Amino acid sequence: MAMGIDDVRGYSENYNMGSAARANHVAANAAVKNGVIKAATSYEGTRELTHDFSIELKQGSITDQQRSGRCWMFASLNTLRYELMHRWKLEDFEFSETYLFFWDKFEKSNAYLENVLATLDEPTDSRTFETINAYPADDGGWWQMFVNLVNKYGLVPKSAYPESQNSKDSDAFTQYLTTKLHQFAIQLRDHHENGMAMSELRESKKRYMEDIYRICAISLGEPPAKFDWRARVKDGDDDKNDESENKSGSGKNSKDSKNNATSDAEAEKSKENAEKSEQGEPGIDERKQIVEHGITPLDFYHKYVPVDVNDFVTLCNNPMRSRPFYTHFQLKYSTNVAETGNLDFTNVPIDVLRKAAVDQVKAGHPIWFACDCMQYCVRDGGYFSKNAVRVDELFGTDFDIDKANGLEYGDYPSNHAMTITGVNLDENGKPNRWKIENSWGKSTGTDGYYVADGEWFDQFVTEVIIRKEFLDDRTLKASQSEPVVLDPWQTISARSD
């Protein structure tokens, strides 16, 4: 039934009638001038969300993904750099996000072409092929994609492979990489239609990947196969400093690796500098150093990162009836590295997910998580809270959708990944505030950090990455069970861009 002009006239009359008119006009003045979020921001709600926490992890400098969709990568690396910094007593540290960005683009391209080869007889307008073809090499991703890359390529410090214009602003690079991949997909499907054997198609794909490598290398620069690294340790812990300088890492993930530590000549020079300093000459930084020459990215990861990225489980909270709890799910065509398994998730009730998160932070470990960051977010002050963004008061209507329906109808997609670095527990031990490290630079939030209240966490956080040691027996058993395989468009969480 069409909307009549008389109906519209009636709506306008009600909008401008009586006491409602004043409220509507005040709200319109605020929203038109300042935007919906600023107009709806409640000073009472934000005042309740103090940026102090009973448990807080000391992290390094705030990172900035800039104009790219690498949040999942930044959040992943932020969880690991915390462990590295505290294991080796560093004041600050940042991994190279560009290094993994290069290999993610390269590997996603290969995985896409493999998916094309696996679906050669699918119509191009089938739901399966449309899903595969939609984002062949976009920026977004998940923790397990990060794990795939680290296992294959290792990690490097930012100094060894810094940011480039195309990593900071990836649109043009991604656009033309995507076009080239679509061109290759067309060629593969045409060759198949003309009777080319699979072995020949794979040879063609192998040649195509040389063009992909060249596009990535021209856009980002070639990643290092080996590199040098030097870091100064903090003062005040000489025993640990000596171990850092002269021995291989003894953390959970360390393996034998040659450490080209400080040479005798450097030690003698350090002694001379100390003597000069005592004689009143300009002060020289005498902190002990970790020095590496010609180390590989895989050796760097195994030696200096004291955790194994494979010792984590992806927990989801999706209360849709079609996604039963304590079930292990796997998503078809979802990996970024062709030879690895597809993404998998263990769905659990929110109280189970919440407890695991609290236990991990209490034990001194940050948490990667995915959420809908667009919901009830005040960027300026750094708040995630329904009480902080009172759009219900601004518009005079509620926006209540429960989590199950929000996921099923696509209103609560996981569109961002961040890192939990603290929690505040009330008198009953229940979390009422979470400290969140973002990757949008220091100009947003409070010096780059956000605070989320407990209600927001429960409703809009869909996924957390938990160390196996913090899982209860039932959840751990579920995570190791045979997965229920879902089609690539079926909802567990959603894209994390």
Active site residues per annotation: 71, 416, 438
The residue assigned the tokens 């979390």 is 431
The residue assigned the tokens 């209490």 is 362
Residue 418: strand pairing partners: 369
Alpha carbons 336 and 152: distance in angstroms, whole number? 12
Q: What are phi and psi of 216, to 5 degrees?
A: -65, -45
CA atoms within 13 A on the CB side of 136: 26
Tokens at 472, concatenated: 């209860």
E strand intervals along 324-376: 327-331, 344-347, 367-371
Alpha carbons 101 and 452: distance in angstroms, whole number? 29
Q: Which amino acid is at 60?
A: G
Alpha carbons 82 and 26: distance in angstroms, whole number? 47
The residue assigned the tokens 């290792």 is 154
Q: Are 347 and 492 in contact (CB under 8 A)?
A: yes
Q: Which amino acid is at 463?
A: E
Return the number of other C-beta atoms located less than 10 Å from residue 207's C-beta: 10
The residue assigned the tokens 């991604």 is 174
Alpha carbons 338 and 112: distance in angstroms, whole number? 8
Alpha carbons 136 and 113: distance in angstroms, whole number? 9
Alpha carbons 421 and 434: distance in angstroms, whole number? 8
Alpha carbons 10 and 7: distance in angstroms, whole number? 5
Tokens at 392, concatenated: 């219900």
DSSP 282: P
Alpha carbons 76 and 397: distance in angstroms, whole number? 38
Alpha carbons 195 and 461: distance in angstroms, whole number? 48
Alpha carbons 171 and 71: distance in angstroms, whole number? 15
The residue assigned the tokens 């079930």 is 327
Alpha carbons 160 and 149: distance in angstroms, whole number? 17
